[in-house]
Amino acid sequence: MGEGLQTEAHRAFRDEVRAFLATEWRPEMARNAAAVAAFRRRAVEQGYLYRGFPRALGGSEQPTDPLRLEIIRQEFAMARAPREVTGLGVSMVAPTLLEWGTEEQKQRFIPPTLAGEITWAQGYSEPGSGSDLASLVTKAELVDGEWVVNGHKIWTSNAFRADWFFVLARTEPAAPKHQGISYLLIQARQSGIEIKRIRQISGKADFCEVFFEDVRTPADLIVGERGAGWTVSRTTLKHERNMVGSAAGARELFDRLLRLAERRRIDGRPALEDPVLRQRLVTLEGFVESHIASNEHQLLAGARGEEPPLLGQLNKITSTNIADEVAQIAMDLMGEDLLRAADPDTRSDAKWQQQVLGSLGLAIAGGTSNIQRNVIAERGLGLPRDEGAAQ
């Protein structure tokens, strides 16, 4: 974030954050989960973490100020201090509950989610319902004060680690498809739930299939109105897009690529000196810089209460296009060494194997790039609706 935008108050704030980190954080604390949790609590008290959440729910309830946010990000990164708990509980579920949850749901789920005490998995996609999510057929019926859920979800990331699922299920079979869906919270460890992990090309098995057979959850664990789950799910997807579309890691990723280009060789010389590669890198850097600048403008607009339409879609595409080009260049630089990335000789480059194999995933998760393009074309540019997707 440009230094020029900072006021005297922001400079003082940076000193304050730095002083806090100097007294409260030492990198060796990272190995001790209790110490990390205690540090986070102190950082919340100071107003540095969970700034958008009320104090009563475990947040620090601060006014929107993108510059302060960026200062916190920079100073915490420099001190290698932990910020908010990562994962979709904090980035997707908690903000959705803040907007749509009942008071009881907020009290029950938001504080332990922010504290990292409960983890979540997203039960949206089904074998026949991905891009056309509203066609989902997992059903839930209200029986004696409980939802009874039957169906089959797929691509459920980290389901095997989750304490809770947020699930879209059809509760109003007679209603038009978008109006027949409800958003339910379901305890993950109970009989009737079977989880099968799916091995990926990267060797990991984060994805799962989840089978629900007469699974029960209390009637009041519905978020939003009955049949209004589609609207609630849009909020969660908006936060998912924002998470993927954030420019926060773009510079770091590009810098890592530059370091790789310094280490690798083309025709016996450092790859970074190769004119064709330099051309590709400069083009990519243009996208990285404009993505970062655009994110800063959006943060400032957000602070003024403005929310320009379709930015989430644009950010997500830009972000995943950058990740894709980084992966392509890394693949060209590493050649077949990428296959041996786990070998001791090339271990420092092992991360690139995961980067390359995983780069496509983000362009698919949370709505594919093609779907984002459709939305931009139809809602942004006013082009005719995609007939196939419109039913």
Nearer of residues 4 and 388 to ligand FAD, judged by Cβ = 388
Q: Is the alpha carbon torsion for 226, 230, 232, 233 positive or negative?
A: positive
Point out which residues bind ligand FAD (CB under 6 A): 122-125, 130-131, 155-157, 361, 364-365, 367-368, 370-371, 374, 386, 388-389
Output the residue with the shortest Cβ distance to ligand FAD.
130
Terminal Cα distance for the chain, rounded: 44
Nearby residues of 390 by Cβ (< 8 Å), 6 or more positions away = none
Least Cβ distance, residue 325 to ligand FAD (angstroms):
18
DSSP codes, 94-141: HHHHHHH--HHHHHHHHHHHHTTSS-EEEE--BTTBSSSGGG---EEE
Angle 24-29-33 from CA coordinates, rounded to 5°: 115
Going by C-alpha positions, the residue among 294, 324, 323 that lies closest to residue 311 is: 294
Least Cβ distance, residue 238 to ligand FAD (angstroms):
14
Our answer to whether residue 70 is catalytic in this structure is no
- What is the amino acid identity at position 109? F
Going by their DSSP bridges, the two strands 222-223 and 164-170 should be labelled as unpaired
Task: Please list the residues that pair with 223 across neighbouring strands.
Answer: 183
Least Cβ distance, residue 366 to ligand FAD (angstroms):
6
Nearer of residues 36 and 360 to ligand FAD, judged by Cβ = 360
Nearer of residues 196 and 263 to ligand FAD, judged by Cβ = 196
| Torsion (CA) 294, 296, 299, 303 in degrees, nearest 10 | -120
Going by their DSSP bridges, the two strands 164-170 and 120-123 should be labelled as parallel
Selected catalytic residue, list 240, 252, 285, 307: 240
Least Cβ distance, residue 88 to ligand FAD (angstroms):
7
Least Cβ distance, residue 333 to ligand FAD (angstroms):
24
Nearer of residues 114 and 371 to ligand FAD, judged by Cβ = 371
Nearer of residues 7 and 391 to ligand FAD, judged by Cβ = 391
DSSP codes, 27-44: GGGGG-HHHHHHHHHHHH
Q: Which residues are catalytic?
A: 240
